[in-house]
Amino acid sequence: MRIFEGLSVGVSAIRSNKLRSLLTMLGIIIGVAAVLAMIAIGDGAKAIVLQDAEKLGGVNQFTMYRSSYKRVGSRWMPNRSNEYFEFEDVLAIEAECPSVEVVVPRIPEWRGVLVQVADGSEARTGYNGVNYTFAEAMDWDIVQGRFISEEDIENETKVCVLGTEVVMTLFGNASPIGQEIKISRGGDRYSRYGRKEENRLTERFTVVGTMAPRGRSLRFGWNLDDMIFLPLTTTQKRFTGNDRIMMLSVHANTVEEVPQAIEEVKAVLRKRHKNQDDFFSLRDMREGMAQLEKIGKVIKIALGSIAGFSLLVGGIGIMNMMLVAVTERTREIGLRKALGAKRADILIQFLIEAVAMCAVGGAIGVLVGIFAGEGMALLAVKIVQIVPEWPSVVSTQWILISVSFSALIGISFGLYPAIKASALSPIEALRTE
């Protein structure tokens, strides 16, 4: 029997017993749909994490920061080192580390900043003192005006660039370019000699640009649009009163070169800071991605096990139906053999019927899984209210795997009924009532 003829007979058998065929295929449909829906949600979560990593500069980035406390093992200990990052460290790292593409120095003040304009509007926000490489390194576009320039850094210019939320709070729909804002930073200011000078510092800055919308960081909770960017040197002169840098964002040439870049940077810092490389903490963006990969593998193994049981039940149902079909069509088998059909023809006919049923069940399961994934994505946004949209990512690879596995189930569980049908004697089959 030809393959296409057998396939036609198999589809006809399914159509002639629609309800029974549907109930038989239900295990296959549920198994395939469950796997695709959950993988779509899991890959959607992975896409969200990757997008979040891109907001912060990309997975090829690692951050070193100087804080009052540092983690030692499982405990937080006071950082008693007298060493701090300096701008010369930035220049040395870029000059001596071949795996490093660019280093972005930052002086972050995440909150406690009051910003006011002439008409009385005000906002509570934070600022980052950065240099002119920040926007390009972060791949962050400018909507209006310009970003901080090299001249601003050299001349300690009192200019600033605003995030979109700060713009809307202070200026609404009006253009802020050229407008003056007053930034009041709370807390104590220390001189180069460690003397406390005052509790609140207020400076006036001219707005020279606005950033494109960036959104909130899921990992750290910062609203990147609720931020003001100032020249690094101006921040040091007007607010911190020293030449210290609290944070370095180091971008490696590629993700694969990050471990090598970390070792190169540590070697440079040891050379420049009394053989110390423990005065700062290091955060590698790849660590979060590695944890995500581990969680993803565990989820896929768990889902694969659940789907395996569903497909096993579906396969048993297929075998049961095919055995019933052999019994019902015994005289048909005998007639075919009497007319010259070979044993292999009967075997292929019933095997193709089983495969066709599983393939159809797998195809229906794919459609159900795609719609279920979309529905679960909408539900996830309602339950986990941290993202405006949860993508449902269904890959062609998993669709092909699901349908192929369904066909394999059909071959595995349809083989015994097909062998039984092909082994019937034509004389005995024709005598069957």
Does residue 371 carry a pLDDT above 50? Answer: yes
| Cα torsion 205, 210, 215, 218: sign | negative
CB of 177 within 8 A of CB of 145? yes
Cα 161 from Cα 169, distance rounded (Å)? 14
Given the structure tokens 């049908």, which residue do they identify? 421
Residue among 62, 105, 28, 96 nearest 313 (CA): 28
Percent of the chain with pLDDT over 70: 82
Torsion region of 68: left, alpha or beta (phi above 0 gives left; psi -120 to 50 gives alpha)? alpha
Quote the radius of gyration of the chain (alpha carbons, Å): 33
Does residue 10 carry a pLDDT above 60? Answer: yes
Crossing angle of the two packed helices 343-383 and 330-338, in degrees rounded to 10? 140
Tell me which of 325 and 190 has the higher pLDDT: 325
Q: Return all residues near 419 (Cβ < 8 A) that are at least 6 apart.
A: 347
CB of 234 within 8 A of CB of 158? yes
Question: Residue 203 pairs with which residues in a beta bridge?
Answer: 183
* Mean per-residue pLDDT over the chain, rounded: 80
Residue among 203, 198, 178 nearest 188 (CA): 198
Tell me which of 99 and 5 has the higher pLDDT: 99
Does residue 381 carry a pLDDT above 80? Answer: no
Number of C-beta neighbours around residue 167 at 10 A: 21
- The identity of residue 269, as a single letter, is L
Residue 137, classed as helix, strand or coil, is: helix
Q: pLDDT tens for residues 309-330?
A: 777 777 777 777 777 777 766 7
Q: pLDDT tens for residues 113-133?
A: 889 888 888 888 889 999 999
Q: pLDDT tens for residues 192-246?
A: 444 544 446 788 999 999 999 988 777 666 788 899 999 999 999 988 888 889 8
Global pTM value: 0.67
Q: Return all residues near 112 (Cβ < 8 A) that are at least 6 apart.
A: 126, 185, 186, 187
What is the mean predicted confidence (pLDDT) over 257-262?
89
Tell me which of 311 and 44 has the higher pLDDT: 44
pLDDT score recorded for residue 189:
47
Q: pLDDT tens for residues 386-419?
A: 666 777 777 787 788 777 777 787 777 777 777 7
H or E stretch covering 126? strand 122-130
From the DSSP assignment, how many helices (H) and strands (E) are in the chain?
A: 13, 12
Residue 62, classed as helix, strand or coil, is: strand
pLDDT score recorded for residue 403:
77
pLDDT score recorded for residue 160:
95
**Separation of CA 51 from chain center:** 6
Cα 214 from Cα 229, distance rounded (Å)? 14
What is the mean predicted confidence (pLDDT) over 277-299?
70
Cα 167 from Cα 352, distance rounded (Å)? 66
